[in-house]
Amino acid sequence: MAFRNDAAPVVKGLQISHASFCNWIRYKHLVLIDTLARTRNMHATATRMNLSQPALSKMLRDLEEQFGFALFERLPRSMPPTELGEYVVRYAQGALAESQQFVDQVNRLRNGGHGFIRVGGIFAATALVLPQAIAAIKARSPLLSIEVVEHSSDHLLTMLEQNKLDIMIGRFTEERFSQLFDFQPLEPEPFSLVVNSEHPLNQLESPPLSALGDWPWVLYPVGTPIRNRLEQAFRVAGIATPVDSVETISMPMFLQLLQSAPMIAMLPRSMVAAQLASGQFKELRSPLHVPALEYGVVTRKDEPLSASARAFVEILLEGAKQRQKEVTSATALDKT
């Protein structure tokens, strides 16, 4: 394999021992790798690192010689990572994210804090489950700092893999994630087909499937677990996926579009419980059905959690048990 200019050629058969790697790798090297991967420009990287370009070039050459392969391609207008370089970039970014978390937590502990947890949650979880758990642990540890990231499962899994999260509440989007992460189920997520209270379909006791395609929809993006379930429901019902649609993962956007236009959406019931209770939204009685989708606590395999993170997971699991008891009791009461 040939590389341009001063890039290091691949040295086949070279083995890097862990001891030697620890001896020569420095955090400034990781910063160089991360910054150059982001800018893909040597001059911009040198400026951000407050180094001269010749000094930065020498540092990169020395680093590539230690690895035995080029980390970045030397193209006329860009320096993208090589195939092997991409792997090194992911390591550098994960190590820097973990070191940043360490520094932040040390500073909080020095100032009398009780640690720091970074939690990612899908929208269904942030509607009820996550706020309840946060309130419970903050009552126990008021100085505990918690950062919450709300996004789709696929995005959160990537963040968890890169050590940018300690815990996520969501679900696996690919089979390979079961090899990387542990999953502890919380509860199923029932869905509701909803429209605003003024929608013409509310006049029908049970709108026919054919009528659903006559109106615009708000949909989750292609590839998300909920969209996959909805696509399957369309196929089972024998109707086409609506062409007139808006795709988003933004809960505020879902709610605003449903409120301001005659649109339809299939959403987790917990996300629209307040709007259904107030009468702002109505649930359509339709044969279009999406089975409940279970979500849970996802953590990295074989990596111990901090004491605060363990306590938070225990609160999440206990909360799920309590809600299940309440549902069981309510169901039993209805039957009497």
Q: What is the 3-state secondary structure (H, E, C) of 170-237?
A: ECCCCCCHHHHEEEEEEECCCEEEEEECCCHHHHCCCCCHHHHCCCCEEECCCCCHHHHHHHHHHHHH
Structural domains of the chain sorted by starting position, each given as residue range(s) with its CATH number in brackets: 18-97 (1.10.10.10), 113-188+294-335 (3.40.190.10), 191-283 (3.40.190.290)
Average pLDDT over residues 146-150: 92
State if pTM tops 0.95: no
Residue 26 has pLDDT above 70, yes or no: yes
How does DSSP classify residue 166?
S
- The confidence score (pLDDT) of residue 332 equals 64
Percent of the chain with pLDDT over 70: 92
Q: Average of pLDDT values for 293-305?
A: 91
Quick one: pLDDT at residue 11? 54
Is 90 exceeded by the pLDDT of residue 331?
A: no
32 touches 63 (CB < 8 A): yes
Distance of CA 246 to the CA centre of its chain: 21
Q: What pLDDT does 181 receive?
A: 94
For residue 286, what are its two tokens?
């339709």
Region 273-299: mean pLDDT is 90
Please tell me the predicted confidence (pLDDT) of residue 3: 39
- Alpha-carbon dihedral sign for residues 201, 207, 211, 213: positive
Give the model confidence (pLDDT) of 193-248 as tens digits. Answer: 999 999 999 988 888 888 898 899 999 998 887 888 899 999 998 889 998 999 99
- Average pLDDT, integer, range 47-72: 94
Among 185, 116, 121, which Cα is nearest to 156's? Answer: 121
Residue 4 has pLDDT above 50, yes or no: no
Whether 22 has a pLDDT exceeding 60, the answer reads: yes
Output the six-digit token pair for 72.
Answer: 């970045």
User: Looking at residue 143, what is its pLDDT?
Assistant: 80
221-225, 275-279, 300-304: which range is least confident on average?
A: 221-225
Mean pLDDT of the chain: 88
| Alpha carbon distance 184, 26 (integer Å) | 37
> What pLDDT sits at residue 1?
36
CA distance 126 to 262: 26
Which range scores top for mean pLDDT: 106-110, 111-115, 280-284? 280-284
Average pLDDT over residues 246-261: 92
**Through-space distance between the first and last CA atoms of the chain, rounded to whole angstroms:** 76
Residue carrying the six token digits 């007139």: 244
Q: Is 63 helix (H, G, I), strand (E, B) or coil?
A: helix
Residue type, 243: V
Confidence of residue 335 (pLDDT cuts 50, 70, 90): low
pLDDT at position 193: 94
Handedness of CA 312, 314, 319, 324 (dihedral sign): positive
Work out the average pLDDT over 159-172: 92
CB atoms closer than 10 angstroms to residue 267? 25
Contact call for residues 153 and 174 (beta carbons, < 8 A): no
- Torsions phi, psi for 117 (to 5 deg): -125, 135
Which pLDDT does position 167 carry in this prediction? 96
Q: Residues near 29 by Cβ (< 8 Å), separated by ≥ 6?
A: 59, 63, 92
State the pLDDT at residue 70: 95
* DSSP code at position 240: P
